[in-house]
């Protein structure tokens, strides 16, 4: 399914099977001589078929289509290698591109899974990796990414799109901003009816601090139209930014309250936090969602640690958090 939502900008809805995100909004900006496709979907047949069909019906010459990957997650980057040609480029931030270069290696996923087990995740390394969609549906080949920096310009059709670095959701999440028209292609930085996951990564100790700073940065922009990567569009971008900040303030309070009851690891704390997911209880959470929830809890605990409210101790290979 696709539609022209602004003159020369098409939203292509790429299905994400068995994902609570449901679909990815991939954006095609058509120009006179070249086009730009923002994000691609998982590396799985359903995503590839939907994207291929839309590009064919829109008469898009893939040899003249470059790709912009807002961030490293496989629902955004998974098909970049499959769709690029010898005459096209794949753009992304340096921070995320360097991770994606090793993201299809077993060694990377073993390191990441070992980190989550140290957060308390009740899993073996093999099981943790096996259930993660980032491992299952990442790109099948290493892409020769072209790194972009803050302020770099893409002139496509009627649009002058500048790169805006918004770390937090990932170390190098990058948006595209059209200042004159007030348009932001936001990736997962801002979402309308769900909140972007903030998880620890192999680069930053306190990703939530970076995310909140990135929200403030985007809030200072003139925003009239925000094109999000999942679910519904935004009616009031600045109000939504305020809501996201309030959400994380509540989650910080919730995590702190749980720690005050007893020292616990992030997995134990996540099991007592509030999640918007269809599951009877924590034991019935899908394995991948337990990974994400544990990471989200750890990120908030790390922020509380930076604020001086909690401390962490490594006990038998697991980080446990204590009230200061």
Boundary-marking domain end, from 183, 206, 236: 236
Task: Report yes or no on 146 lying in a domain.
Answer: yes
Q: How far apart are CA 321 and CA 14, in angstroms?
A: 40
pTM comes to 0.94
**167 and 253 fall within a common domain:** no
pLDDT of residue 103: 81
pLDDT value at 63 more than 90: yes
**201 and 309 fall within a common domain:** no
Q: What is the mean pLDDT of residues 191-200?
A: 93
Q: What is the mean pLDDT of residues 54-81?
A: 95
pLDDT value at 191 more than 90: yes
Question: Each residue of 16-41: pLDDT tens digit?
Answer: 988 888 999 999 999 999 999 999 99
Task: Report yes or no on 18 lying in a domain.
Answer: yes
CA distances from 30 to 123, 152, 154, 282, 315 (A): 45, 19, 12, 45, 55
* Residue 291: CATH number of its domain: 1.10.10
pLDDT of residue 204: 86
Name residue, tokens 């496709």. Answer: 37
Name residue, tokens 């072209």. Answer: 146
**196 and 113 fall within a common domain:** yes
Q: For the chain, what is the domain count?
A: 2
Mean pLDDT score of the chain, rounded to an integer? 93
**222 and 101 fall within a common domain:** yes
Q: How far apart are CA 172 and CA 245, in angstroms?
A: 20
Q: How far apart are CA 324 and CA 272, in angstroms?
A: 20
Show Cβ contacts of residue 4 under 8 Å, excluding neighbours closer than 6 positions: 10
pLDDT of residue 185: 98
**25 and 103 fall within a common domain:** yes
pLDDT value at 229 more than 90: yes
pLDDT value at 6 more than 90: yes
pLDDT value at 231 more than 80: yes
Q: What is the mean pLDDT of residues 166-177?
A: 97
The half-sphere exposure of 38 on its side-chain side, counting CA atoms within 13 A, is 27
Question: Each residue of 149-171: pLDDT tens digit?
Answer: 999 999 999 999 999 999 999 99
Question: Each residue of 284-319: pLDDT tens digit?
Answer: 888 888 999 999 999 999 999 999 999 999 999 999
* Residue 55: CATH number of its domain: 3.60.15.10
Task: Report yes or no on 124 lying in a domain.
Answer: no
pLDDT value at 83 more than 70: yes
pLDDT of residue 186: 98
pLDDT of residue 140: 64
**308 and 253 fall within a common domain:** yes
- Tokens standing for 240? 């939504």
**185 and 263 fall within a common domain:** no
Q: Which domain holds residue 89?
A: 2-117+133-236
**279 and 223 fall within a common domain:** no
Boundary-marking domain end, from 174, 202, 236: 236
Boundary-marking domain end, from 188, 203, 236: 236
Mean pLDDT is lowest, of 60-64, 87-91, 199-203, for 199-203
Contact 203, 95 (CB under 8 A): yes
């Amino acid at each position: 399914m696709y539609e022209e939502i602004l003159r020369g900008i098409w939203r292509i809805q790429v299905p994400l099977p068995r994902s609570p995100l449901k679909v990815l909004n991939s954006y095609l900006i058509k120009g006179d001589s070249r086009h730009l496709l923002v994000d691609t979907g998982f590396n799985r047949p359903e995503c590839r078929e939907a994207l291929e069909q839309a590009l064919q019906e829109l008469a898009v010459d893939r040899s003249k289509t470059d790709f912009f990957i807002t961030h490293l997650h496989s629902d955004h980057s998974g098909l970049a290698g499959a769709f690029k040609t010898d005459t096209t480029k794949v753009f992304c931030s340096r921070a995320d591109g360097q991770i994606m270069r090793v993201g299809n290696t077993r060694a990377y996923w073993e390191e990441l899974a070992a980190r989550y087990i140290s957060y308390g995740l009740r899993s073996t390394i093999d099981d943790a990796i096996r259930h993660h969609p980032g491992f299952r549906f990442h790109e099948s080949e290493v892409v020769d990414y072209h790194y972009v920096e803050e302020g770099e310009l893409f002139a496509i059709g009627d649009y002058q799109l500048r790169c805006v670095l918004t770390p937090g959701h990932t170390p190098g999440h990058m948006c595209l901003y059209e200042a004159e028209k007030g348009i932001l292609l936001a990736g997962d930085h801002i979402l309308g009816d769900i909140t972007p996951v903030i998880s620890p990564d192999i680069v930053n100790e306190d990703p939530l601090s970076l995310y909140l700073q990135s929200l403030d940065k985007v809030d200072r922009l003139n925003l009239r139209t925000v094109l999000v990567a999942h679910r519904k569009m935004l009616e009031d971008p600045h109000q939504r930014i305020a809501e996201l900040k309030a959400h994380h303030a509540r989650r910080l309070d919730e995590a702190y309250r749980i720690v005050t009851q007893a020292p616990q690891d992030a997995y134990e704390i996540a099991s007592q936090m509030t999640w918007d997911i269809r599951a009877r209880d924590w034991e019935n959470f899908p394995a991948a969602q337990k990974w994400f929830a544990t990471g989200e809890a750890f990120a908030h605990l790390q922020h509380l640690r930076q604020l001086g409210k909690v401390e962490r101790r490594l006990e038998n290979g697991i980080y446990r958090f204590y009230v200061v």
